Structure 1
Amino acid sequence: MKCTINEVHKYVNEEVTIGAWIANKRSSGKIAFLQLRDGTGFIQGVVVKAEVDEELFTLAKKVTQETSVWVKGIVQVDERSPFGYELLVTGLEVIAEAVDYPITPKQHGTEFLMDHRHLWLRSKRQHAVMKIRNEIIRATYEFFNQEGFVKVDPPILTGSAPEGTSELFATKYFDEDAYLSQSGQLYMEAAAMALGKVFSFGPTFRAEKSKTRRHLIEFWMIEPEMAFVEFEENLEVQEQYVSYIVQSVLKNCEIELKTLGRDTSKLENIKAPFPRISYDDAIKFLHEKGFDDIQWGDDFGAPHETAIAESFDKPVFITHYPTGIKPFYMQPAPDRDDVVLCADLIAPEGYGEIIGGSERIHDMELLKQRLDEHNLSMDAYQWYYELRQYGSVPHSGFGLGLERTVAWISGVEHVRETIPFPRLLNRLYP
């Protein structure tokens, strides 16, 4: 019976055939242990000298790391294994021999591993991170589909910048200037006016010269937008969504979290509602903690976010930021024109902001005023302005950065491990 590693539980005490790679091996005089992987998981193959012919045992002892094989064996329960099963090998056939595989079981430097990212992905740790990333994506689609959202794909090439910044990758679009998208948000607002509740999932690009463990040049964002939804309801959707994906990972990625040594007790507590602190109170809190460098009107850096997050055991919303440090499209607070109806969701354990969201301006005169204040061309934003001209409604949305969220949930330190092929300030290869 041909099967995959994640299916062996169906065939206990039966003989199966698995296509796999040799992740690692060790042997004594009478027994050889083959660590096998096939993409779906890892299992140990045991080759007992006394129970197989000499040719098979010799092959098992000499087969090299990352050689591809057909392995035949009897599935056995193994309570000592994190996986719960092992394979008593009865046959082994080499498909393609790997010679001098560069990533050996010894320690390697980060740059070496990044140069060999195409191979590093095969390791048990990287496999676990990618499986958790996949589960977050799967749970994202499940959550928004259950909540009545429609998936919409915004363009990657745009003629303007949603954030109005200079941190853009510019290119020529025939005889026009174009940019790689920083966010699909503005287009998702248009989609929300047509479909009510929408979400996108796609790549975004920031030409930001940052080398921190939280930053990538190319990353993926989940961006929902909702018509007839105001600020408070927007926050509720965010905390329900984050709770949902965390609990889905706990339920479906137990082996992967164990592989990474993740303290799951910290994740079990991640359930809505989440605490909230206003920007004003956050400034006071930081001053009490000795952060005299931060003043009202400044944006928070990583040390400030971490200090605030450490006071809570769940993600925390920081709300009502100053108008001057936020993008042009955010709705002012009803009782104050110096702050906007926005929130950043800060993850625990020093992982920083994972969501930015706000109620959007729905008054066309105020939007025109904001475009003028930000020196943004009305010609470029005419279509966005028209969303307010033809049946405007209160609406809200947010964006979740996938890689930071994967890093937090999986417990890895750097976002470069949370995307298959990271694009960093000094890295475009492989």
Structure 2
Amino acid sequence: MQTHFSLEQLSDPKIKEANDILRKCVHCGFCTATCPTFVETGDERDSPRGRIWLMRELLESPETVSKDTRHHLDRCLGCQSCMTTCPSGVDYVHLLDIGREKIDIVAPRGLGDKLMRRMLGMTIPHAGRFHMMMRFAGIGRLFAPLMPRQLQAALNKLPRTIPKLDVIGSQNEIFPADQQQPIKRVVLLAGCAQRALDPDINRSTIRVLNRLGVEVVVRAEAHCCGALTHHIGETESALKSIRLAIDAWDEEINGQGVDAIIANASGCGTMVKDYGHVMADDPAYAAKAKHISALCKDVSEIIDDIGIDDIIRPAEDGVKPVIAYHSACSLQHGQKIHDVPQSLLRRAGFDVRQPVNGHLCCGSAGVYNILQPDMADNLKARKKDSLIKTGADYVAAGNIGCIAQLNDTDLPVRHTVQFIDWASGGPKP
């Protein structure tokens, strides 16, 4: 793509980075076929190619931009499916970060939108607050007809059956390996929303890793990876969470040492693996952030590295259920991990099936399903239909957002590690 930034504009490091990204785009359109929002609307402005054009205009000539540009940038899920497809290596996700930061300056949000984002940023990244909000949702639903649309959507997305808050992550803990001499020592990111929505995921993760001879450390200071606030424009809150996590993990690295930092929510893993880029301009954290990004692994990666054959047990009745594998966008596109979780499930004895159009997003995308409920619900319906058509008994996924978005009594959705835990002696998820 041809750009026309002035020398003064290019003196801004963000504009320079955006210019380098924009000039890689050759307008081929391959991205349109794999973009969930373009597949849904058919509007070029809801495609990566169209949004790239809008962002070039936004950054080159901000005075010409209207709120319509914000509308189409907000409708982007950030799923990174376009980056998997792009033959030119366009770094779309980082361009989107720059574009969204700029549009907040050029066309400021309305008060209602700002307050909603601030509320989400102040609650969901804090497990205890989020859990309390879920409990109060029942009262809120009584007044839902009187509330703004986004608040109604938020209430509808919260579960009606509320589990106990996961205590893992509330304090610093060490979970020793089942064998006397651990083969690895790792730090587990306990997460924020996941602790409120499904406390069993961390328990299953720790049980499986301990069986494999891995010592697991949890640091309470790392309460959130910063992804949610980063993607909704609550930048200072995101940076605060990131610095807290880096400080805690850096202390472990320089103490007894760490072989890996494990994320069992792929949205978190994608964020931590990007810390090196996010913190590149912070002299106090740049080097530490880059090192932590290099250490980060999805839970499926470390399980695959060690191997599960020695811990898998036969099914009590000789038959294990059919599982449809939902490949979370943050895992398959953000981290380029698609086959490993399915391979692990098959090695654990499950019959694994893939849905049609597995590359398309389910519509969760952090809090996208709250901020863009209509689009999210359409994508959810499309995804659920494709999963049901596999004929599976259960769905496995590697991200809590997808699990919460898709879970249904007719087709339960659970984390991949919960199925591996079950197959190796743990409880049925």
Q: Shared topology, TM-score over 0.5?
A: no
What TM-score do you get using the length of structure 1 for normalisation?
A: 0.21
- Return the structure number with greater strand share: 1
- Return the structure number with greater helix share: 2
Q: Which has the larger radius of gyration?
A: 1
